[in-house]
Every structure is written in C-alpha cells, then in structure tokens.
Copies of this chain bind each other. A is one copy, B any other.
Amino acid sequence: MKQEKISEAVVRRLPVYLRFLNELSLSDVQTVSSQDLGEKLDLNPAQIRKDLAYFGEFGRKGVGYNVAYLIEKIRHILKLDKTLNVALVGTGNLGRALCNYNMYTKDNMKIVAVFDADAGKTGTKINQMTVQPMSELSETVDRLGIAIGIITVPAIEAQNVADRFVAAGIKGILNFAPSVLKVPAGVRIHYADFTAELLSLAYYMDYEKRKEQGDVEE
C-alpha cells in the first residue's frame, strides 16, 4: 500500500505524544482525551485529533484514545517496533551522558558502539562498551547493522565525522555539535538543537515581560 508523505511537523510531534503516553501508561492510565493531551502538551486538541487521524481512526468520541493502543500505533508509525542500533562518535561529557542515558531500551534505540579519534580514549569502557578507534567504524557499522550515528564531537570536527558515517553507509545522523553539516541526498540529518531552544527562550521571556506591561499585541 502506498503511504502518503507525513508532514515534518506531524512526525516531530509524534515522539512528544509518545513520551507523554508512556508516562500515562506507567501511571496505569487507560484512556486519554485529545483535551487532556492538548492541555498537558500545550497543543490545540483539534490539532492533535488531526495529527492522529492521519494514521486511521484511533479515538472514540466521548471515550478518548486507548493509551496502550495509541502507543503501539505511534511506535509502528515511527518504525520503533524493531530495535535500531546506534553508533556514537565523541566520548566527552555529552557523549558519555548519552551512552549512560536510559531511554534506549524503552524506545528501541540502542547505542551499541562508541568511537573516539583520541587514542588516549580508545580501549576505555563506557556503560559496558569499549571505546573504539575511528578506523574500526565501517567494519563495526556493517557487522552490527548500525542504522543511526550520533555526533558529539567539537563543531570543527563534526563534518569529518558525518563524512565518515556516510562513507560507512549510515543513513540517519543526529548532530549535537553546534554546526550545520552537509550530507548527500538520501541521508537524513537532525540537529539536537538545545542551543536553539535556549536562545528562543530569551525571546519569550522578554515577550512575557512586555505583555505584562501591555506593550505587545496578542
């Protein structure tokens, strides 16, 4: 069956829904309305209903969505119903933090190999993985069927790591370095853009202040 292209905005909201639904599930909540979702996630309930309707009729009027079913559906849509292996390059504080982070089991993403260009780091252990030299990247990606690469090196080294990932056949990259990278068509790059989130906070804080002073239009 051919599938329509889903808008980028929708694809990016699905993990946000999923995170909240996982929380509900942990608290043994069985059903949730688009109103509840909207209030908690600061989104318009009509928008949420529209997003979810993209993938078929999940909800029932007056009853809401079945949490477990919705989780299963979103995981299927995001292709999280099979485990994806991930490689990480750069074992500074941020890289180490990500290797120790516990999201992967729940979300079927798992960092299975860690690399560093610094010979002083290779051979050390992080969360039961041995840090490997960059020369082993291609072979390891092949052997472990690694699909996604994470970049946690300084900005100046990030393009080089991206090129190495691409050469090794990786098709999805998450870049934490504060630099814009070039990758060929067919390779998807996402930015872990907490600097953008932080910088846009400044705008909103000033906006709230001006709103209090009656200095902005709603």
Chain A positions near chain B (C-beta within 8 angstroms): 2-6, 11-12, 14-16, 18-20, 23, 40-41, 77-80, 84, 86, 92-94, 96-98, 100-101, 103, 107, 109, 147-148, 150, 171-174, 176, 178-180, 182, 186, 188, 190-210, 212, 215-218
Chain B residues lying within 8 Å of A20, measured Cβ to Cβ, are: 180
B93 & A195 in contact (Cβ 8 Å cutoff)? no
Chain B residues in 8 Å Cβ range of A16: 191, 193, 196
Shortest CB distance A33–B (Å): 16
Contact status A202-B84, CB under 8 Å: yes
The chain B residue sitting closest to A209, CB to CB, is B171
Give the distance to chain B from A191, nearest Cβ to Cβ, in Å. Answer: 7
Roughly how many angstroms separate A48 CA and B202 CA in the complex, as a whole number? 21
**A15 contact from B80, B172, B195, Cβ within 8 A:** B195
Q: A107 vs B200: C-alpha distance in the bound complex, in angstroms?
A: 11
Cβ–Cβ contact A203 & B77, under 8 A:
yes
Q: Is the CB of B203 within 8 A of A148?
A: no
Q: Which residues of B contact A23 (CB under 8 A)?
A: 179-180
Min C-beta distance of A217 to chain B, whole Å: 6
Known: A23-B179, A97-B97, A148-B201. 4 other contacts (CB 8 A): A14-B199, A19-B179, A148-B198, A174-B194
* A176 with B205, Cβ < 8 A, contacts A15-B200, A109-B199, A199-B15 known: no
Given contacts A171-B208, A208-B186, contact A200 B14 (CB under 8 A): yes
CB-contact partner of A202 in B78, B200, B212, under 8 A? B78
